[in-house]
Amino acid sequence: MNPMNRRTFLERGLETGLGSALGATALASTAAARAASHQGAFQLRYAPHFGMFKHSAGDDPIDQLKFMADEGFTALEDNGMPGRPVELQEKIAREMERLNLQMGVFVAHASFGEKTFVWNDTGTRERIAKDMHDAVEVAKRVNARWCTVVPNAFDPHLEWDYQTANVIENLKRAAEICEPAGLTMVLEPLNAWTDHPGLFLTEMPQAYMICRAVGSPSCKILDDLYHQQVTEGNLIPNIDRSWDEIAYFQVGDNPGRKEPTTGEVNFKNVFQHLHAKGYTGIVGMEHGNSQPGKEGERAVIEAYRACDAF
């Protein structure tokens, strides 16, 4: 090989090797960035629900749990857990334990068109007691610490203070069932203007007063910021004033009840406030997706990434 050819050969070989190395580095960086964006843990414990990512993960709930964990979520909530077969509840619990996912709320008692907690009669008390005993068993199977309780409709034919006294008494009895199992009922005030007219519990001060009167660690507030934005706004001051009685949060933007950044609430500020107060509980993602398909599901994840970047 003459000197010129040898030099050309070496230069080309160096270029090829350097190009391969740079290409490998670029690929590795891209893969690392993708992994970081998909797997990095959030600062708060946001909890999706089954079906939120079905286009990305498929219909199987176990595959959906894996997808949630891969995307950095560390909790799940499932309002309909009590209606699932026991075998599936146990399977879900095993997979959540493997993935280090915490179980959020399920609904223990809610029948919006009926009057239950506002009444003081034997039949009502027995029904509430059965629902809470059933909730304790579900909680044991799925390692849940919280269950949602809605006091249901108010009675237009009974003075409001009598109804309030009945709600407090019925909650005291229900708390006696939950306390030995370490299960906390979280009372959810719901808005009457857009979604649930006719319900007894609608506002944070009302929920705070009731929980203080019940006086049990098993009776606290679920502060759903979507409902409270519709009902009364003033989200952060009400969080601060009710803080000692709040055990759980849920979110959805308003109007529309879709993911954060689609409405009027500054969730980045709200999440930062919760973090600054030392909140380590769950923030349930109880809302729909603003866009369809995989693109819409990715938009939900990116919205939480943006609001969690404080």
Q: What is the pLDDT of residues 11-49, one digit of tens each?
A: 444 344 434 333 433 333 333 333 344 457 899 999 999
Are 148 and 188 spatial neighbours (Cβ–Cβ below 8 Å)?
yes
Q: What is the mean pLDDT of the chain?
A: 91
243: CB partners within 8 A, 6+ apart: 277
Asked if residue 191 has pLDDT above 90, the reply is: yes
Lowest-confidence segment of 36-40, 112-116, 233-237 by average pLDDT: 36-40
Are 208 and 221 spatial neighbours (Cβ–Cβ below 8 Å)?
yes
**Of the candidates 281, 250, 252, which has an alpha carbon nearest to the alpha carbon of residue 45?**
281
Asked if residue 8 has pLDDT above 50, the reply is: no
Average pLDDT over residues 67-71: 98
149: CB partners within 8 A, 6+ apart: 108, 109, 110, 171, 174, 185, 186, 187, 188
9: CB partners within 8 A, 6+ apart: 1
Average pLDDT over residues 203-216: 98
Kindly provide the b/e burial profile for residues 270-292, where b requires at least 16 CB atoms within 10 angstroms of the residue's own CB: bbbebeeeebebbbbbbbebbee
pLDDT at position 40, please? 77
pTM for this one?
0.87
How far apart CA 110 and CA 131 sit, in angstroms, is: 10
End-to-end CA distance of the chain: 63
Q: How far is CA 53 from CA 33, 64, 82, in A?
A: 21, 7, 21
What confidence category does residue 97 fall into, taking pLDDT thresholds of 50, 70 and 90? very high
309: CB partners within 8 A, 6+ apart: 268
What one-character DSSP code corresponds to residue 101?
A: P
**Of the candidates 215, 226, 111, 112, which has an alpha carbon nearest to the alpha carbon of residue 171?**
215
**Of the candidates 234, 245, 169, which has an alpha carbon nearest to the alpha carbon of residue 206?**
245
What one-character DSSP code corresponds to residue 78?
A: -
| Sign of the CA dihedral running 39, 101, 66, 45 | negative
Asked if residue 263 has pLDDT above 80, the reply is: yes
